[in-house]
Structure 1
Amino acid sequence: MYDSLWKALKKLPLLPRRLNYAKAPALRFLDLPEDIVYEIVHHLDIRSLCNLSLTCRQLYLSLLIPHLHQQKLPDPFREIHLNGDNCTAAIPALRLLLYDSPIKAFTWRAGHDPRTLVREVEQLRRLIARMSAIEYLELDFSNNWPANEFRHGHENGYWAWVRLATNLLHVVAQRCRVVVVTNHYQVLVPWVTFIGGVPYNLDPPLLARMCAEWRASAGEAEALGSTKLMKSPSKISLSHPDNAPASATFPQPFPPEKGSTVYATRRLIVNDPGLFQRSLFGEWALDWVSNMPLTHLVIHQGRMRLPLLRQLRLPRLTSLVISHG
């Protein structure tokens, strides 16, 4: 049986041997010249660039820092200045850096597109939470948005925006020693409508003088104490109270309990006449400020209700300035 099978197989035509071509050497991406690598990276979006930089240490160092230099951030480990032009492209790359030492100065200004504000604020909160400490932080929510441009964006996400704002301010108080908040009323605290422009009660000479003095003294001040990131104090529900059951009550966004977290802010400038108005956010802001170990407080009064200041408990306060603009 086997002999007959073998004879049958021998009669079959012989198949030609496959030629074994030597495999061409693979060309790695890192073997390309630097100018070609940068040309390829130039056509990637920010998300693809960040993913590529995480593949190896060499790309991490050679892609992120040059990208931040293009966004006008020459020293991202010391000073960070974000605005509407570079915020979208810079923050994802900044979030991949490791910040072992405190940031000397950090400034942020809201962009000109109101539809991207929520995303920018959330990314900003995550970025600040990654840093060990910030000596000087300036948040500028003033803008030139028309009233009808931003109102529709928060008709359905109103309470989610309030929760997002309280989360940001909570992290800011944990990480930053000197804080300056510039805001037109009803932008950071949207209780009635959204109105563009700049704070009508802003006193630019006073603001410039105080900021210059505080930034100059930041280097001479004592080292920042250690901070720990706790759960956000905001307890606001995503549902609108009008849609909630009649028996349900809307919870107030309480700040963290005393002793449960460490606030680092020692000096605060508030250019916001609506921050301390009697409202849900206003009550939260009073507790937020009272939990800070403040020694200097500057408030541009505007429409603020001064009796609410009596609720502040600042035993370490040595300087209080109230400007009417």
Structure 2
Amino acid sequence: MFNKLLIDGKDAYAEYGVFVEQYGYKALVQMPSFKKLESTEWDEYDGEETDLTSPILDTKTFAIQFCITEIDMGDNLFELLSDKSYHTFHFAELSKSYKLRLVGNPSRSALIHLGKISVNFADDFPPVVLNDFINEDDLDDSNIILNHKPYATAPAGFKQKGYELDDIDFSRFGIYVLDGTDDNIEKAPNVRANLTVNVKNSPGVVYDNDWVMYKSKDVGLKLLIHAPSISDFWQRWYSFWAVVLKPESRKLYIDNPIDEFECHYKSNSVTKFDIRRNGSVWCEFTTTLTFTNCRPLGNYFVLATEDGEIVITEPGSEDVEINLKLHE
């Protein structure tokens, strides 16, 4: 436990008897949300129009669960964290340092001398994708510049393909797409309410029957990074986010069924983060994207030759209609 967590250069275990509980890094690792984005819904169009000229990440507040070998030493820890707002935490297992601000202590429990302490922190220095509106000289040393590139090809042994972000297959990020994602993508968005008149002395309502328009929808991509080392994890993690967080909208492509969606980042949650004894990292997380315009459309079929060439016929009253039916 020694030297796994340093607070302002001091060994937290040696000085205060505290160490991070198993699986305790997941909230620390996860990406914050964007600051509020300006968006507009137009009556004549589905979805929404969002200003993505210069999206930037917000601060995030999260809890870290600590174990403590002597519960009375917890006050010494809080005395340290109270002498100024920001303190530097170096997590050796993550090979990474964070500048964090104490927010609160929502819970503390003890069993004789041993105990657990939940501490809320704020991370005010999120990663940054540089653009014309951000001056690198104004950033803090704790802001990570996201300029990481995906792998040229998928890592050895990677077996999944068919999901792309801005024409980059997810395999080049070293990321698997998990079960449940396709269902989230294919569900229909909610309908935007039309003009409704509700008269007190008349049953029901009068509803505008001229059209049906759809709202934008939020879609959770269930993802997995299984990296052989913590350095490989950070390469995969940051190369993915360097694309997701860029200005303007993204294109998400899936090949079953073949479809492409315009979208932008909304939020992230890490459900499991485990550094195993052999040093490999298992990280399951959900990235929520907002699909800005995704009206459900029927399936269309075309005639093609055995070589895959589409058969084009002359328009007219004798056009061929293909009607597929399912039979038991």
Q: Do both share a fold (TM > 0.5)?
A: no
Question: TM bucket by the smaller chain?
Answer: under 0.3
Higher relative contact order (CA 8 A, sep 6+): 2
Larger-Rg structure: 1
